[in-house]
A and B are shown apart, each in its own frame.
Chain A
């Protein structure tokens, strides 16, 4: 799905989290929103997911105005920073949650839900953990379960907030590859937020460098490396 961000701004009280920003994300792209904390990248991601509403501007999904769509209507697969797995549910129940939450008419039968959950557990390469609770999983496993849970609703796009932030360096490398593979397999337009420039450069097709609620530069990793558009970008990516 093609995502168009048209002059979006966001005020929290008197502070501006986003000055009007515009961004066009082609269908099927893997995009990194890169910036230090307070740069507005998470706010922008939450606006895309419908968890936050812009003060002004529009969001378009496939050229249709989606600004007023509720979080449920957006059907965005969202992976939260600390994964936000439901702690009182098993992994299976976590992944099945979105399917069970559908209105009766469009809810798949039980057997079909079980089949899909099993398939997703295979996709994240953790076929045997369905009956465990989140507290019994490692950080990397939690992240993959969160990803499977987001994919279960057959989302129109995938939004990830610092998906690797809480992991150690080795697991981080593995999971980057995992996300790339899942992205390529599903073909979903994917936006992830990160403050780690290596991660952004290595994983994304397109990097959006942000600072103080503004977009500093948009481009392929190689372009940004070769031609940083501002002093900020040059210093932040360290070239």
Chain B
């Protein structure tokens, strides 16, 4: 309308030009300084001695082991957390019970507890000096300084992501569609599979991706429980720290670049899926 009238009215939501440009500049500088520049720096440092040196630094046994371990941990922790997250969100949003608020707080706990403390808790629970830990070590299944401990620590830290993404979506969608499916004769399992899951799939995907990014990048909790055994329990973030402390900056930044790339791939995957299913996404929101 403002295009055709002689007077120039400003819509209520438009800012004054000066304010607009200032805000844009502020956002660009913020993203540039806080996100883009450090990311770029990682790659610049990694390639400081040329691409060949960077690739070579990733070729040794310890580096390969770290990458494999990190991928393995994510492959175990993320699906399990997705499962727990869906179960928790389902329970919280589809049923009324006493202590619901307490349960939500409990799910959020890993966000507020320092990862290092979380790692320590696992060491206390499963370390050789504890009852359970002693028995497990004696039976040949050590948890601390081994894969199970790292997985537990990673799962603890990434636990809230899936549930936190799902709960608001499921609250907003309500229970009516599930109830409708039940009245049409569907079993509880069928309702979950054909109604609930399709309705939450985007939120679930997003939660899984966040959870995956965090699982691969987790440092604090893993540092405590892993024992940092090179070639055995050292994950990528741990290896990066160790290499950096040994002044092997090309090796450290090359590993960091790989970790960054893994995160970027996850993000690109998400964007690609969003573009591909844009019509369904829109249908989900418009209804």
Which residues of A approach B to under 8 Å, CB–CB? 49-51, 71-72, 74-78, 80-82, 84-88, 97-98, 101-102, 133-136, 149-150, 152-153
Binds A, one of B20-28, B46-54, B176-184, B204-212: B176-184
Interface-centre pick from B183, B187, B195, B198 (highest chain A CB count, 10 A): B183
Complex interface bits, B275-287 against A, C-beta within 8 A gives 1, otherwise 0 = 0000010111011
Choose among B181, B284, B287 the residue that contacts A97 (Cβ–Cβ < 8 A): B181
CA distance A102 to B185 in the complex (A): 7
Choose among A75, A86, A102, A136 the residue that contacts B180 (Cβ–Cβ < 8 A): A86
Q: Which residues of A contact B287 (CB under 8 A)?
A: 85, 87, 133-135
Whether A153 pairs with B283 at a CB distance below 8 angstroms is: no
In the complex, which residues 238-285 of chain B have their Cβ closer than 8 Å to any Cβ of chain A?
A: 280, 282-284
Whether A49 pairs with B183 at a CB distance below 8 angstroms is: yes
What are 18 A-B pairs at a CB distance below 8 A?
A51-B179, A51-B182, A71-B182, A72-B182, A78-B179, A78-B183, A80-B176, A80-B179, A80-B180, A88-B280, A88-B283, A98-B184, A101-B186, A101-B190, A101-B194, A133-B283, A134-B287, A135-B287
Q: A72-B187, A80-B176, A101-B190 are in contact. Are A86 and B283 (CB under 8 A)?
A: no
CA distance A48 to B284 in the complex (A): 31
Which residues of B approach A to under 8 Å, CB–CB? 176-177, 179-187, 190, 194-195, 198-199, 280, 282-284, 286-287
Q: State the Cβ distance, B34 to closest chain A Cβ, in Å.
A: 37
CA distance A71 to B190 in the complex (A): 14
Q: A88-B198, A135-B283 are in contact. Are A82 and B182 (CB under 8 A)?
A: no
Q: Which residues of A contact B180 (CB under 8 A)?
A: 78, 80, 84-86, 149
Number of A-B contacts (CB under 8 A): 78
Q: Which residues of A contact B185 (CB under 8 A)?
A: 72, 75, 98, 101-102, 153
Q: Which residues of B contact A71 (CB under 8 A)?
A: 179, 182-183
CA distance A176 to B287 in the complex (A): 24
Q: Which residues of B contact A98 (CB under 8 A)?
A: 184-186
Choose among B177, B183, B186, B195 the residue that contacts A76 (Cβ–Cβ < 8 A): B183
> Sorted from nearest, which 3 A-B pairs have the closest CB atoms?
A98-B184, A84-B176, A78-B183
Q: A80-B176, A82-B176, A101-B190 are in contact. Are A87 and B183 (CB under 8 A)?
A: no
Q: Which residues of A contact B199 (CB under 8 A)?
A: 87-88
Find the A residue at minimum CB distance from B201.
A88
Find the A residue at minimum CB distance from B182.
A71
Q: State the Cβ distance, A58 to closest chain B Cβ, in Å.
A: 20
Find the B residue at minimum CB distance from A74.
B183
CA distance A81 to B176 in the complex (A): 9
Q: State the Cβ distance, A27 to closest chain B Cβ, in Å.
A: 20
Q: State the Cβ distance, A156 to closest chain B Cβ, in Å.
A: 12
Whether B283 pairs with A51 at a CB distance below 8 angstroms is: no
